[in-house]
Chains A and B, each alone.
Chain A
Amino acid sequence: MSLKHKNEKKGLKKILLMGNPNVGKSVIFSRLTGANVICSNYPGTTVDFTKGIMRIKGERANVIDVPGTCSLEPVNKAEEVAVKMLKEGDIIINVVDATNFERNLYLTIELLEQNIRVIVALNMWDDVKHKGINIDVKELEKMLNVPIIPTVAVTGEGIKTLVSRLDEAKSPDVKPKSEEEKWIEIGEIVKKVQTVKHRHHTFSERISDATVKPVTGIPIAIIVLFLVFQFIITIGNFVIEEILDPFFCNYYGPWITGIVSSFAPSGTLHDILVGQFVEGELDFAQSFGLLTTGLYVPFVMVLPFVTLFYLMLGLLEDVGYLPRIAVLVDTIFHRLGLHGSAIVSVMLGLGCNVPGALSTRILETRKQRFISATLLAICVPCMAQTAMIFGILGRYGAGYIMIVFSTLILLYLLLGFIMKKLIKGESPELFMEIPPYRKPSLTALMKKTWMRVRSFLVEAVPFVILGVFIVNILYISGAIDILGNIFAPVLVGWLGLPKEAAGALIVGFLRKDVAVGMLLPLGLSPMQLVVASTMLAIYFPCIATFVVLIRELGVKDMIKSCIIMLSVALIVGGALRLILLGV
């Protein structure tokens, strides 16, 4: 077993990073282990634990980045993960937001009662000065009887000291106190060690206020999201039309056809590798060869949009804009049995449904998680799928794309409204801290975008190629005719699509982008393409999302959710056929 790939080694010390949400635990984790994890400026970025290895004075130790929690009594699934992890730790690095010192102390006091060694990282130490706060670290160390190290995780300040003093972490012998007693103790500590100077609202706080007031906040949100959308579309199309597509058509295409023809001028192998020629010529979108469409779909049609989307999402995350959107949409989301935080799962889901599904953990109740996960699976297409929908419908005009997305948005609202009424359980209100705006670091943003793009390249692209291979097998083996006949009543009779579309439904389980691409050679009318691509978004999640949803919802709820997906697909498909195709 190679040690390099084994993230957790038995017998090593376990160091847990614990603290309130959005205090910078993940940034400290990256600093300690050199491992890259997604860090953002909103509470609930980390919903599962991440393990890494660090060296302390030549000795190796496991470091675990734990989801944020405000107390040891969890209020959602992400916090449950945190509290469960506690038992496994040898040393806790309690990360405290120095600018929100008082409320962070509650968890610290709870941790000190746990009979486990604790060291405190007093993070965001640079912000303390700007905010006119002064904390007497020496006095605090004396009162809590554990080492306190001021840190600035984003710049790395204090991290060396933190590591060198890890050995001093200790479990002070304290009696368990009642909650009231804890608050009294916190009051005494704060009074003794912290002084706050009054100061006026800064410029960024004024902007912050404007972005949450409805009168100014809603227009700002519309402008911001519009600009983000325009940026992705304009740059994405430019890169595809001016750089990638010409390269594939003028250079790569002739080259690869030449090579393949040299050993397989025609026949099955040629068709699998290069694909069917359309009107005597190679067509990257329609030929469906492994080395043509199999590479053209992920690298030309999808990758530019995925990269640009993650760049923009990362920017919004790091600035701290997502919680503001959550505030503005909360009223609407309440009508759907959710609250504003559910927007995070939509935003992440627009990139890839897998992290979208995981982020439903920040919601408090089973009802909320069920509704938001089901809505995600049905109404939120991932960026790969979106890029392909743009790719096949864009040529007929933006209006057709609008129909697909308006249908999905309308469905999100309507379905949420119905599920709120039908599903038992509580839908608590939104209660969340809104972090201050922060200037994003360009390197951190690039790193995060690269991490996400890399995970697309490593985890998605092989499946895209596999998907194209399966398409070939379906056609060569004649299975497509058998499947077509099985699905004909639904496809032809109910949806008004040709029975060959059955192939897209099957491949859609694996990769939605390939499935959308499969519609192109079928010679559908624009409206049929609209119906078919909307169906592909709705009917079922891809396999990766499916697996995560089973884990998050449980088998029983997942079955319910799947029944909803399939019935909604049939109802909406039938309705779209009547409205759009008029037959």
Chain B
Amino acid sequence: MDLSKLKPGKIARIVGLEGGHGFKRNLRIKGIKEGKNIKIIARQPVGGPLVVEVEGMQTVIGRGMARKIFVEEL
């Protein structure tokens, strides 16, 4: 499933990123990388962004971008 469907508080592993070269690099250099565990801290209403946590660092990411991140719930 994609990251936007993960429930707040649940932890999942990132298994794939979809999109162009630059997009993927942009995610990876901010720590959102295949093999890492990711947790949803907060979800803003009406299609707003998600606050996620990877390795203790929190990042805010738009819902559209989150749909291109594939995860497996742990």
Q: Which residue numbers of A lie inside 8 Å of B, CB to CB?
A: 20, 70-71, 73, 75, 99-100, 102-103, 106-107, 131, 179, 183, 196, 208-209, 212-214, 217, 323, 326-328, 330-331, 334, 339-340, 428-434, 436
**Can you pick out 28 interface pairs between chain A and chain B where the beta carbons lie within 8 Å of each other?**
A70-B29, A73-B22, A73-B25, A99-B56, A100-B55, A103-B29, A103-B31, A183-B28, A214-B42, A214-B44, A214-B45, A323-B60, A327-B49, A330-B44, A330-B49, A330-B62, A331-B44, A334-B48, A339-B62, A429-B61, A430-B62, A431-B60, A431-B62, A432-B59, A433-B57, A434-B58, A434-B60, A436-B58
Interface 0/1 of B15-36, CB less than 8 Å to A? 0000001100110111101000
Contact check: which of B28, B46, B59 meets A431 at CB < 8 Å?
B59
Contacts of A73 in B (CB 8 A): 22, 25
Number of interface residues of B (CB under 8 A): 31
A103, B58: Cα distance in complex, Å? 13
Contact present for A431 and B51 (CB under 8 Å): no
Choose among B45, B51, B64 the residue with the greatest number of A CB atoms under 10 Å from its CB: B51
Contacts of B21 in A (CB 8 A): 179
Contacts of B63 in A (CB 8 A): 429
A106-B42 contact, Cβ under 8 Å, with A327-B60, A432-B60: no
A103, B57: Cα distance in complex, Å? 11
Contact present for A429 and B31 (CB under 8 Å): no
Q: How far is the CB of B46 from chain A (nearest CB, A)?
A: 6
Contact check: which of A179, A330, A432 meets B48 at CB < 8 Å?
A330
Contacts of A100 in B (CB 8 A): 31, 55, 57
A312, B42: Cα distance in complex, Å? 27
Contacts of A331 in B (CB 8 A): 44-49
Q: How far is the CB of A273 from chain B (nearest CB, A)?
A: 55
Contact present for A430 and B49 (CB under 8 Å): yes
Contact present for B30 and A209 (CB under 8 Å): no
Q: How far is the CB of B64 from chain A (nearest CB, A)?
A: 5
A326-B60 contact, Cβ under 8 Å, with A212-B51, A213-B42: yes
Q: How far is the CB of A80 from chain B (nearest CB, A)?
A: 14
Contacts of A339 in B (CB 8 A): 62
Contacts of B43 in A (CB 8 A): 214
A433-B33 contact, Cβ under 8 Å, with A209-B41, A212-B42, A340-B49: no
A70, B43: Cα distance in complex, Å? 25
A155, B4: Cα distance in complex, Å? 40
Contact present for A327 and B44 (CB under 8 Å): yes
A214, B45: Cα distance in complex, Å? 7
A106, B28: Cα distance in complex, Å? 9
Contacts of A214 in B (CB 8 A): 42-45, 48
Q: How far is the CB of A249 from chain B (nearest CB, A)?
A: 51
Choose among B25, B33, B59, B60 the residue with the greatest number of A CB atoms under 10 Å from its CB: B60
Contact present for B42 and A75 (CB under 8 Å): no
Given A73-B22, A340-B49, 16 additional A-B pairs, CB 8 A: A100-B57, A103-B30, A183-B28, A209-B41, A209-B42, A212-B42, A212-B58, A214-B44, A323-B60, A327-B44, A331-B44, A429-B49, A433-B30, A433-B31, A433-B58, A434-B59
Contact present for A75 and B26 (CB under 8 Å): yes
Contacts of A70 in B (CB 8 A): 26, 29-30
A323, B21: Cα distance in complex, Å? 27
Q: How far is the CB of B42 from chain A (nearest CB, A)?
A: 4
Choose among A99, A326, A331 the residue with the greatest number of B CB atoms under 10 Å from its CB: A331
Contacts of A212 in B (CB 8 A): 41-42, 51, 58, 60
Within 8 A of A (CB), among B56-74: 56-65
Contacts of A334 in B (CB 8 A): 48
Query: Chain A residue with minimal CB distance to B21?
Result: A179
Contact present for B51 and A327 (CB under 8 Å): yes
Contacts of B46 in A (CB 8 A): 331
Q: How far is the CB of A197 from chain B (nearest CB, A)?
A: 11
Query: Chain B residue with minimal CB distance to A432?
Result: B60
Contact present for A213 and B30 (CB under 8 Å): no
A436, B22: Cα distance in complex, Å? 27
A71-B65 contact, Cβ under 8 Å, with A212-B51, A328-B44, A340-B49: no
Contact check: which of A213, A328, A340 meets B41 at CB < 8 Å?
A213
A212, B55: Cα distance in complex, Å? 18
A208, B57: Cα distance in complex, Å? 11
A106, B22: Cα distance in complex, Å? 14
Contact present for A429 and B25 (CB under 8 Å): no
Contact present for A431 and B47 (CB under 8 Å): no
A575, B55: Cα distance in complex, Å? 53
Query: Chain A residue with minimal CB distance to B56?
Result: A131
Query: Chain B residue with minimal CB distance to A213?
Result: B42
